[in-house]
């Protein structure tokens, strides 16, 4: 992986050299500019992943440079501004226009390095990160990630359950990656999307001339997955007749193509997924009991996203990085109010809804920073507004805290103890914050009605 490329704009020779040297020691590639115009020229040709700029420069100001970049370029790297001359108007203006941060000198250069690592996605040391796994940071997903390597190479059949959109196929692919063998096939099939008239041909394959239009031999899903993994999504939608044939294929590990005369070996690992209660389907006679016990040797459950809120922001940051990579654009940042809303929203559509909302926001939003209203367009513009006083950062963070508390209280129907526990503070601290922000104890409940 290539080192992240930074643009440092600082006319003070001591400060500029210190920043450049420190970031190079941290593994970054650095271009150091002492004026705005040379930095602007470099921005046109160099693929910077972040810009660190002083406000006061000998030619144009950092503010003017940023305004020029926002008005003339479709995408820009994150800008972090540093200055010894804090200004209320400048701070508010820059943050509202999408600057990543605004900090005053003297500052902790180590904290700045950590911030730039987050903005660029550059190798944050594992010890600096919270406990996490490839599946998530919440305890249920970490337990799943720990269990999979122990069972992936031993279980011939696994049933994955969970609501629609929770990431059942993601778990299936994770299991496949931990199974022994390299470059083995992974065949994913949505059972509800295959027309009933084509089920047998699609699953078993067919010989040339087996029916009208069969102008060549075709391998079915069972054969395509031989040696690897067959993932049957929404297996509860499979008709009873096909369930019988699937059971036989699982028992014998051999199949016969439509129109064929000889058996063909089909040895695959089966992962089935469903958002239905298969035990209830068995009771209603809509799912075969023998097949249910055959595929339910090992059951893994993926919780709904609302039941693992710790994963929301972790997923959101990963998703925007993937979206940015696909679009060939710098990674967009989240405004604190957007993070607060993401963390407190109920996510009825689970991870699929999160992905769809973020993809739309990244495509439509021209700014570097996503506001809550970019992701939840139906909720209107940002509220509350940032006021201009003598302490811009304090008021900026206070506005974000206000939005976070109101959203958390609404999510928990105004229950103080439950809200305090959910956001990790004491009841007394929550009451004090509510009094400071003039949040009435009953107002969240009224707003939720």
Are residues 259 and 277 part of one domain? yes
Are residues 296 and 151 part of one domain? yes
Supply the pLDDT for residue 42: 93
Which CATH number does the domain housing residue 235 bear? 3.40.50.300
Are residues 144 and 282 part of one domain? yes
189 is a domain residue:
yes
Instruction: Note the pLDDT tens digit of each residue in 210-267.
Output: 787 778 888 999 999 988 999 999 999 999 999 999 999 888 888 888 888 888 888 8
24 is a domain residue:
yes
131 is a domain residue:
no
Instruction: Note the pLDDT tens digit of each residue in 152-189.
Output: 888 889 999 999 999 999 999 999 999 877 668 999 99
133 is a domain residue:
no
Supply the pLDDT for residue 127: 40
Supply the pLDDT for residue 382: 45
254 is a domain residue:
yes
Find the mean pLDDT for residues 278-305: 94
Are residues 354 and 413 part of one domain? yes
Supply the pLDDT for residue 407: 64
With 90 as the cut, is the pLDDT of residue 120 above it? Answer: no
Rounded to the nearest integer, the mean pLDDT of the chain is 83
Domain boundary among 97, 122, 147: 122
Instruction: Note the pLDDT tens digit of each residue in 364-389.
Output: 988 778 888 899 988 765 443 333 33
Instruction: Name the domain count of the chain.
Output: 3
Are residues 118 and 9 part of one domain? yes
The domain in which residue 401 lies consists of: 307-448
Are residues 149 and 209 part of one domain? yes
Are residues 314 and 242 part of one domain? no
Domain boundary among 252, 279, 302: 302
Are residues 291 and 322 part of one domain? no
HEC string of the chain equals: CCCCEEEEECCCHHHHHHHHHHHHHCCCEEEEECCHHHHHHHHHHCCCCEEEEECCCCCCCHHHHHHHHHHHCCCCCCEEEEECCCCHHHHHHHHHCCCCEEEECCCCHHHHHHHHHHHHCCCCCHHHCCCCCCCCCCHHHHHHHHHHHHHCCCCCEEEEECCCCCCHHHHHHHHHHHCCCCCCCEEEEEHHHCCHHHHHHHHHEECCCCCCCCCCCEECHHHHCCCCEEEEECHHHCCHHHHHHHHHHHHHCEEECECCCCEEECCCEEEEEECCCHHHHHHCCCCCHHHHHHHCCEEEECCCHHHCCHHHHHHHHHHHHHHHHHHCCCCCEECHHHHHHHHHCCCCCHHHHHHHHHHHHHHHCCCCEECHHHHCHHHCCCCCCCCCCCCHHHHHHHHHHHHHHHHHHHHCCCCHHHHHHHHCCCHHHHHHHHHHCCCCCCHHHHHHC
Find the mean pLDDT for residues 71-80: 81
Supply the pLDDT for residue 31: 95
């Amino acid at each position: 992986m290539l080192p992240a490329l930074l643009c440092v704009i600082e006319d003070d020779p001591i400060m500029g050299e210190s920043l450049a040297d420190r970031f190079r020691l941290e593994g970054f590639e650095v271009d150091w500019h002492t004026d705005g115009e040379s930095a602007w020229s470099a921005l046109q040709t160099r693929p910077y992943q972040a810009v660190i700029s002083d406000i006061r420069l000998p030619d144009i100001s950092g503010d003017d440079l940023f305004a020029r970049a926002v008005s003339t370029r479709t995408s820009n790297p994150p800008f972090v501004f540093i200055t010894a001359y804090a200004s209320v108007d400048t701070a508010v203006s820059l943050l509202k226009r999408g600057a990543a941060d605004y900090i005053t000198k003297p500052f902790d250069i180590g904290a700045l390095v950590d911030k730039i690592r987050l903005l660029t996605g550059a190798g944050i040391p594992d010890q600096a990160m919270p406990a996490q796994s490839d599946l998530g940071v919440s305890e249920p997903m970490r337990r799943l990630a720990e269990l999979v390597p122990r069972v992936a190479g031993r279980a011939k059949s696994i049933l994955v359950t969970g609501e629609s959109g929770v990431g059942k196929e993601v778990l299936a692919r994770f299991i496949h990656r931990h199974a022994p063998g390299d470059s083995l096939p992974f065949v994913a099939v949505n059972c509800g999307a295959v027309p009933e008239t084509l089920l047998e041909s699609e699953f078993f394959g067919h010989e040339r001339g087996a029916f009208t239009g069969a102008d060549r031999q075709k391998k079915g899903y069972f054969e395509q997955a031989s040696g690897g993994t067959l993932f049957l999504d929404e297996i509860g939608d499979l008709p009873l007749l096909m369930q019988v044939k699937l059971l036989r294929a699982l028992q014998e590990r051999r199949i016969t193509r439509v129109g064929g005369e000889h058996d063909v070996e089909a040895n695959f690992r089966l992962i089935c997924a469903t958002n239905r209660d298969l035990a209830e389907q068995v009771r209603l006679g809509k799912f075969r009991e023998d097949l249910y016990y055959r595929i339910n040797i090992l059951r893994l459950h993926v919780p709904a996203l609302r039941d693992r809120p710790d994963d929301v922001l972790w997923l959101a940051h990963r998703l925007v990085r993937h979206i940015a990579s696909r679009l060939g654009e710098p990674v967009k940042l989240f405004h604190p109010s957007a993070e607060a809303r993401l963390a407190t929203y109920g996510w009825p559509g689970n991870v699929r809804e999160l992905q769809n909302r973020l993809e739309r926001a990244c495509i439509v939003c021209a700014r570097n920073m996503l506001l809550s209203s970019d992701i939840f367009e139906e909720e209107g513009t940002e509220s509350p507004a940032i006021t201009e006083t003598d302490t811009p950062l304090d008021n900026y963070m206070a506005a974000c805290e206000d939005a976070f508390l109101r959203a958390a209280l609404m999510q928990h129907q105004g229950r103080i103890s439950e809200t305090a526990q959910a956001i990790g503070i004491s009841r007394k601290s929550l009451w004090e914050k509510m009094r400071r922000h003039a949040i009435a104890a009953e107002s969240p409940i009224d707003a939720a009605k």
